Amino acid sequence: MGGITHFEIRSGDLERARGFWESLLGWKFRDVEGPMQYTMAEVGGNPTAGLYASENQERGLIVYFDVDDVQATTDRVRELGGQVTTEKTPIPEIGWFAHCIDTEGNPFGVFTTDESVPMPDA
């Protein structure tokens, strides 16, 4: 628990950002189905880096930490004076995540693997 499990890169131009990271580090991206355009790079054989076009001006990386229980962790974030900006959210057949901000204003995410999360009804 507590290790870095994933990170995301927020971009203004998804294709430009994809080309940059592919050229710089040799990453190969694959598109992921979902409610938004999202692409994932595997680094060292593991899906590690997500890339998406941010709908606002937010940029930078969001690091996700592995936790045992997303809800318990977001409750603890609040107790410690942090903020939860995205409540516990399902990723079908993968797990759960939430977005938070620490007491110093730094955004981060928490993630729990749970392959039993159901696909939404079509």
Any domain includes 41: yes
On whether residue 97 sits in a domain, the answer given is yes
Per the structure, the count of domains in the chain is: 2
Mean pLDDT for 87-96 is 91
Range of the domain at 33: 9-57
The pLDDT assigned to 12 comes to 86
User: Which residues neighbour 28 within 8 Å (Cβ) at sequence distance 6 or greater?
Assistant: 22, 41, 42
pLDDT tens digits, one per residue of 55-75: 777 788 889 999 999 999 999
The mean pLDDT value for 36-57 works out to 81
pLDDT higher than 70, residue 103:
yes
Residues 61, 51: Cα–Cα separation, whole Å: 10
CATH number of the domain where residue 45 is located: 3.30.720
Q: Nearest-CA neighbor of 114 among 89, 84, 88, 92?
A: 92
Same domain, 38 and 78: no
Amino acid 5: pLDDT: 85
To the nearest whole percent, how much of the chain has pLDDT over 90? 36
Which CATH number covers residue 80? 3.10.180.10
How does residue 121 score in pLDDT terms, banded at 50, 70 and 90?
Answer: confident
Q: Quick one: 76 and 117 in the same domain?
A: yes
**Of 38, 57, 76, which residue constitutes the final position of a domain?**
57
pTM, two decimal places: 0.78
Q: Are residues 82 and 122 in the same domain?
A: yes
- pLDDT surpasses 70 at 47: no
